[in-house]
């Protein structure tokens, strides 16, 4: 490489560094303005599981969102039933699949919340997952979110679950709490 090419390459590198540092300097950020903070929510809803169901192989994860969603995984034996908010058939879990009852109002609410069509074929079980896992926005959690107030007191939600051919019923119990966000203008 010639001295001229080396010199040109060095000048180009220095030019790039100066430009980059100029863009990263606080003055450049102030000159272009900060992000618009007016659209920030005043608080967030936090959901938690306070009492897991006592069923072997059942695992629940709460997915944070404006209305928290539930992700249930079942690795047990037999069939796990999750009745809808009306007490009727809603979801049934097995190790290798999850089915939703097409007449369930809870199924229609969950599918609508997810932006999925529910179809017109009614009155049967439809496979909605090819594994033992399924996630949905449950109307019982959504109702608790609607009642979560600025006072910060937890609002309880409860979703019954039962194993097929078992006389023992259990439930997933949790709570939602509204938590204010710090004032972005305050220090």
Domain that holds residue 67: 43-180
Predicted confidence band at 186 (pLDDT cuts at 50, 70, 90)? low
CA dihedral 80, 86, 89, 92 (to 10 degrees): -30
- Looking at the fold, whether 14 and 104 belong to one and the same domain comes out as no
Predicted confidence band at 88 (pLDDT cuts at 50, 70, 90)? very high
Return the residue matching tokens 């629940």: 60
Predicted confidence band at 22 (pLDDT cuts at 50, 70, 90)? very low
- Looking at the fold, whether 132 and 156 belong to one and the same domain comes out as yes
- Looking at the fold, whether 54 and 27 belong to one and the same domain comes out as no
- Looking at the fold, whether 120 and 101 belong to one and the same domain comes out as yes
pLDDT tens profile 94-137: 999 999 999 999 998 888 888 887 766 778 899 999 999 999 99
154 and 49 in contact (C-beta within 8 Å)? Answer: no
Predicted confidence band at 36 (pLDDT cuts at 50, 70, 90)? low
What is the token pair recorded at 99?
A: 């089915």
- Looking at the fold, whether 22 and 110 belong to one and the same domain comes out as no
What is the Cα–Cα distance from 82 to 177, expressed in whole angstroms?
24
Q: Angle of helix 105-113 relative to helix 139-147, nearest 10 degrees?
A: 70
Examine residue 185 and state whether it is found in any structural domain, yes or no: no
- Looking at the fold, whether 137 and 164 belong to one and the same domain comes out as yes
Distances from the Cα of 176 to the Cα of 40, 131, 157, angstroms = 20, 28, 8
pLDDT tens profile 48-80: 999 999 899 999 999 988 889 999 999 999 999
According to the model, what pLDDT value does residue 13 have? Answer: 43
- Looking at the fold, whether 105 and 163 belong to one and the same domain comes out as yes
Give the chain's domain count. Answer: 2
Beta partners for residue 156, in sequence order: 175
According to the model, what pLDDT value does residue 155 have? Answer: 94
- Looking at the fold, whether 98 and 122 belong to one and the same domain comes out as yes
- Looking at the fold, whether 27 and 50 belong to one and the same domain comes out as no
Examine residue 37 and state whether it is found in any structural domain, yes or no: no
According to the model, what pLDDT value does residue 121 have? Answer: 74
What is the Cα–Cα distance from 69 to 81, expressed in whole angstroms?
18
Pick 33 or 52 by higher pLDDT. 52
97 and 129 in contact (C-beta within 8 Å)? Answer: yes
Predicted confidence band at 23 (pLDDT cuts at 50, 70, 90)? very low
pLDDT tens profile 143-181: 999 888 778 899 999 999 999 888 878 999 999 998 888
From the CA atom positions of the chain, what is the Rg in Å? 26
What is the Cα–Cα distance from 130 to 112, expressed in whole angstroms?
20
């Amino acid at each position: 490489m010639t001295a001229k090419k080396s010199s040109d390459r060095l000048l180009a590198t220095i030019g790039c560094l100066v430009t980059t540092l100029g863009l990263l300097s606080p003055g450049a950020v102030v000159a272009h303005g900060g992000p618009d903070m007016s659209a920030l929510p005043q608080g967030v809803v936090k959901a938690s599981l306070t009492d897991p169901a006592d069923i072997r192989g059942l695992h629940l994860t709460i997915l944070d969102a404006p209305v928290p969603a539930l992700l249930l995984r079942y690795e047990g034996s037999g069939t796990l039933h999750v009745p809808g908010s009306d007490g009727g058939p809603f979801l049934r879990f097995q190790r290798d699949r999850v089915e939703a009852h097409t007449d369930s109002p809870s199924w229609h609410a969950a599918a609508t919340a997810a932006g999925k069509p529910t179809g017109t074929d009614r009155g049967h079980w439809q496979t909605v997952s090819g594994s033992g896992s399924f996630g949905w926005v449950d109307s019982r959690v959504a109702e608790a979110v609607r009642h979560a107030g600025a006072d910060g007191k937890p609002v309880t939600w409860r979703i019954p679950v039962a194993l097929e051919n078992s006389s023992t019923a259990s439930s997933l119990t949790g709570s939602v709490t509204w938590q204010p966000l710090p004032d972005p203008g305050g220090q």
